[in-house]
Chain A
């Protein structure tokens, strides 16, 4: 990772919304407030595989059973919401993702899977950037 120490212009993040590993764009934060009003407290689990794989899935908190081997990347703080939103990924998948910082964004789309935002005509999407060497060391030390 030494060759690419400088991250590219990062995606706009809501200040203080995220953790070292995962954050939110303002559009995603705003959507989460609206979705919480409909579905109650929410959670994210990062998917992999085909079709809508590699997209974050958003569920009513507790709907998806977090397993022994899932990694908790952090809790996202959303302005206007009391409870932070947990972000999880399967441990085996995290091994291939751990050198990248993730930002949850939202785009127009039809979605799929059982993610709660699809009926709104939008889809959560992950923007990624490489950690700098310093960031990576800190993040690994946390685990």
Chain B
């Protein structure tokens, strides 16, 4: 066990500044209106820094910087852009502990995750797009003897990106790496709940990118996000969040006729077929861990497996052991490397989860474990902790249909394959899902029949850069990860060239 010192203490691996400004045009600049907002750590509920409260004036200034930088950046060689991404990755890797602890302090998540997942995945993501860029090719099509169609990739120009608070750094890198690789300049707005950790990272790498290529404007959605999303100076907007804001951003984008990428969450089914429990072996243990994955990142994951569907033949036995596995999840100080589940990211998130536990009970769902907040004592008493909670109920209940975004799973039984697929697809969303079976044909068929953009087969919560991620149905538009993401940040230029010396024959 190792417990990292709280930031601010002399032996901490990270020290936050007392104040963070906007990062515009390669330097930190004060907000136009001079206002700042307090930022708290969900671990103790205490304030630890203040952050610039951006407004439309700051967004315009960032767009000025991005517009100035975009043409030059877009014309750099792919080798140059790729090398810069690799250098950023190296710098982040060399400072992994600092960035990971900063992320845990800002967001509340256990450092076991930031040290082993969030930051290593961000590093790998940068390297993946550095490589994918070098390997990307355009196309040449010979139309006839004298005519050739050339297809080139060109950057969009200036793009806007609005980042969520559940993986503040990893989600920023998911969006930044392909956008920068493709040659775009970016204006990025972090979430107001977690505005600080990205600046700890940025200060370490700021000298590597030309001024204006990356601009970070902090602030609230209504004051900074809206002027960015509705600006007619961006060529694309990317957003991760919820459906109403997704619709509003689409509405703004339609006014400017620009593309959107939206990732809006889900209510992901985790489907366990009878044969999972055919033997009490390593695979069975893996499946039980797969059930408990709903508590990863305190359940604050768009693909949280928040609906567990278990087949009737093994329902009681499997559920009993799954509850036992859930009860072994160690809740504690997020800066302790033994801690598996940390604090919810904000007080309003904490209150919302409790309101869902309340409606679940009212609807008649049975609490099998958890079902309340957790008071961890000492300085942690001011933080936002929820017990991992298992509900048993049916798919028409609201706790089966709405993304609670907390460590809460709702369990239901199914009798056969058709019922499993019917329940799995009875949802407004289609982001993630998993199927667990020892039979490859069942797993394959279920994986294809479930309407979701990512179906894990016999695993969960793996996010390699090389696998496309995104939603069906109301879970959004577009994909993230995978080299196809380069296309999402590029225009297609077609040069249609005639090598014939003769008139075309129309006039």
Contacts and interface: CB of A to CB of B under 8 A. Distances in A.
Nearest to A113: B245
B244 A113 contact: yes
Contact of A111 (B221, B229, B398, B475): B221
A50 B266 contact: yes
A140 to B, nearest CB: 15
Nearest to B349: A109
Nearest to A88: B244
Nearest to A60: B222
A96 B428 contact: yes
| Interface band, chain B | 35 or more
Contacts of A113: 221, 225, 241-242, 244-245
B69 interface: no
Interface in B151-173: 164-166
A123 B193 CA distance: 12
B192 A111 contact: yes
A126 B358 CA distance: 11
B266 to A, nearest CB: 7
Q: Report which residue of A57, A63, A93, A114 has the largest number of chain B beta carbons within 10 angstroms of its beta carbon.
A: A114
Contacts of A52: 241-242, 245, 348
B48 interface: no
Interface stretch (A12-20, A23-31, A41-49, A74-82): A41-49
Contacts of B343: none
Given A48-B402, A48-B428, A114 B225 contact: yes
B19 interface: no
Given A111-B348, A114-B245, A119-B53, A50 B221 contact: no
Q: Report which residue of A59, A63, A93, A119 has the largest number of chain B beta carbons within 10 angstroms of its beta carbon.
A: A119
Contacts of A67: 247
A97 B352 contact: no
Nearest to B356: A54
Interface string B343-364: 0001111011001101100111
Contacts of A65: 247, 251
Interface of A: 3-4, 7-8, 45-55, 57, 59, 63-65, 67, 90, 92-93, 96-97, 100, 107-116, 118-119, 123, 125-130
13 contacts: A3-B364, A48-B402, A50-B166, A50-B242, A50-B264, A53-B241, A96-B396, A110-B346, A112-B192, A113-B221, A114-B248, A119-B222, A128-B398
Given A4-B362, A57-B244, A107-B351, 7 more contacts: A3-B364, A48-B242, A49-B429, A49-B475, A64-B244, A118-B221, A125-B348
3 smallest beta-carbon distances between A and B, as pairs: A50-B265, A109-B348, A53-B242
